[in-house]
Amino acid sequence: MVHGLRRHSLTNSTRSSVDETKGDQVTREDETVIDSEQGSMLMHIISQLRPGADLSRVTLPTFILEPRSMLERITNFMAHPDTLLPMTKIEDPIQRFVAVVRFYLSGWHIKPPGVKKPLNPILGEIFTGYWDYPDGTRGYYIAEQTSHHPPKSSYFYMAPEHHIRIDGTLKPRSKFLGNSAASMMEGIAVMKFMNTGERFFVTQPNMYARGILFGKMKYELGDHSYVRCPEMGLVADLEFKTKGYFGGTYNAIGGYIKDIKTDRNLFELSGLWNEEMYIKDLTTGRKELLFDASRAKETPPKSRPLEEQEERESQKLWYKVTDAIKRKDQDTATDEKSRIEDMQREEAAKRVNTEIEWSPQLFRRVQGGHGGSEEGEEDLDFIINAKVDGKTPAEQVKQILQIHAILPGQTPKRQFSIPTRNNSLERIPTRSSFNQTPEPPTQLHQEPTQLPQEPQPETFGSLIDLSDPVPRPAAAPQPAPLPQPIEVAAPAPDLASTPADTLQLNPQSNNSVEHGLMKGIPPSKLLHSNSKTGTTSSSSPLKRMDSETGAEFQDAIS
């Protein structure tokens, strides 16, 4: 398994040669100096910390927060199309693997000045984006927070015309280590070349923030990460080196590209991950520049305007927080961040009280294990809940756009989609109102005749059921679900008699561009069932197991 590779370095993973004259001094943009006001905020953190404490349960001051969610920060991985897009066109397999390593190393230099931590996504948060490439093609990105305890951020990227697909789940574990904080970056990404059938399993280095209690704060990457291709029989063991007390340098990398079958090192890697990185052919002795991060310019993804985004999409959800952070208004940033976190706690408490089981909206559990359709990809935990299997790139694009809105002016025509989560900060009960007498059920639960669509489990995929805060009597038995995937569009609802909230079950778009994209293409095959029957009930909630420990966990526990 890939996690096993993370914990044990390869046999020949010795320290590589690096330019010791570079990186010895901490540049101003790499450090954060704590002023007197921020120092008093850190005293609040000190009172919460113990060695080995879980930082995910500690309230951090907003001045060390990056003004974007982790779901958006993951896009750093795809921010250099000049290293990403050419990979599938390289004919020599060894050079193709070297290109993958170059692409992997190209994104680590992208970060804001100082030591910054991205916002922790809340359960069910979604971020979508896209890239317009110089050749007229596009790359598409969809991410969702699929678990809160433990935190898991699942994402999907695809550039159909370039035959590249990436599925990943990031599972950070934060620990307090005295004057340092560490984010242990568990989880993997699986990049697939659709034209060659090759898969590249990728892990990440761990991240460290030094000097969080006293001195100057410094950001470092550390430990081993791996790029492995089972089809090629090649693996890259990459060591991100932290500076020692008595020697070494900041931001250094080293490592080897190895032939697994012959146990022979083919290339040596060296340099600085935020400056120049080199590769040396161990057969010929030739050393050349692999990537120059100091001259590279990243390409961030584009997103739909805020007014088109739903309440739970990252940029709209965190807008007041990120705006206050950018304005250095720490009081407003803290208040707005606390409000969102309180909303998440209230939702979790209500799910417990009403025995509602939560499941992701856009992702599903990986069907791994021996003989499973995704055997070998178990460490992903979650994967996009749709089959993007069009015969041409154009068909694949149209299938991707049916999963969720990505482009401006676009509304996806999802078949039998999960109801839109119309939660907002105004509708979420506060602590003062949480114990008040609940209101009667609203029209959200009218008889099925109001909406001529196939029966759907009422609590499936919803964070909370806001219209009915107390458990309802058991519903009548539901008809057996149709076999999946479903490719027949549901009939249009009666707009005159359907409540506004439920009209979003199968939204329609009047956008002419989107209409042209969708014309004549079968719907993406959404697979919205996490159980064998495809249904769930409040009396028999779905059992959700942690893929690492095998133990059952409840996301509702805060």
The answer to whether the CB of 128 falls within 8 A of the CB of 304 is yes
Which pLDDT band holds residue 231 (cuts at 50, 70, 90)? very high
Rounded to the nearest 10 degrees, the angle between the axes of helix 319-326 and helix 330-354 is 160
pLDDT at position 494 is 42
User: Can you list the alpha helix ranges (DSSP code H) found in 259-329?
Assistant: 314-317, 319-326
The token pair at 437 is 């007498």
Which pLDDT band holds residue 245 (cuts at 50, 70, 90)? low
Q: Is the pLDDT confidence value at 486 over 50?
A: no
pLDDT at position 114 is 77
Q: Is the pLDDT confidence value at 188 over 80?
A: yes
Amino acid of residue 19: D
Among 6-10, 366-370, 396-400, 461-465, name the one with the lowest average pLDDT: 461-465
pLDDT tens, residue by residue, 82-106: 999 999 999 999 999 999 999 999 9
Q: Is the pLDDT confidence value at 36 over 70?
A: no
User: Can you list the alpha helix ranges (DSSP code H) found in 318-445?
Assistant: 319-326, 330-354, 393-400
User: Mean of the pLDDT values across residues 284-294?
Assistant: 96
- Provide the residue ranges of all domains of the chain, joining segments of one domain with +: 25-401
pLDDT tens, residue by residue, 344-400: 999 999 999 998 889 999 999 998 878 777 888 889 999 999 999 999 999 999 999
User: Mean of the pLDDT values across residues 221-232?
Assistant: 95
State how far the alpha carbon of 361 is from the alpha carbons of 126, 396, 526, in Å: 9, 20, 10
User: Mean of the pLDDT values across residues 456-467?
Assistant: 34
pLDDT at position 386 is 94
Percent of the chain residues topping a pLDDT of 90: 49
Q: Is the pLDDT confidence value at 159 over 80?
A: yes
Among 80-84, 222-226, 266-270, 433-437, name the one with the lowest average pLDDT: 433-437
User: Mean of the pLDDT values across residues 466-487?
Assistant: 43
Which pLDDT band holds residue 170 (cuts at 50, 70, 90)? very high
pLDDT at position 473 is 44
The mean predicted confidence, pLDDT, of the chain is 74
Q: Is the pLDDT confidence value at 502 over 90?
A: no
Which pLDDT band holds residue 214 (cuts at 50, 70, 90)? confident
**What span, in angstroms and rounded, lies between the C-alpha atoms of 416 and 506?**
7
72 sits in which H/E element: helix 70-73
pLDDT at position 56 is 57
Q: Is the pLDDT confidence value at 343 over 80?
A: yes
Which pLDDT band holds residue 248 (cuts at 50, 70, 90)? confident
The answer to whether the CB of 61 falls within 8 A of the CB of 45 is yes
Token look-up 């005159």 returns 496
Residue 208 makes CB contacts below 8 A (sequence gap 6+) with 180, 181, 182, 183, 219, 220, 221, 222, 242
CATH of 25-401 among 3.30.470.20, 2.40.160.120, 3.40.50.2300, 3.40.50.300: 2.40.160.120
Which pLDDT band holds residue 48 (cuts at 50, 70, 90)? low
pLDDT at position 507 is 38
Q: Is the pLDDT confidence value at 540 over 60?
A: no
pTM of the model as a whole: 0.69
Q: Is the pLDDT confidence value at 484 over 90?
A: no
User: Mean of the pLDDT values across residues 255-275?
Assistant: 96
User: Mean of the pLDDT values across residues 226-245?
Assistant: 93
**What span, in angstroms and rounded, lies between the C-alpha atoms of 211 and 115?**
10
84: left (phi over 0), alpha (psi -120 to 50) or beta: alpha
| More confident of the two residues 375 and 471 | 375
| More confident of the two residues 121 and 461 | 121
pLDDT at position 418 is 41
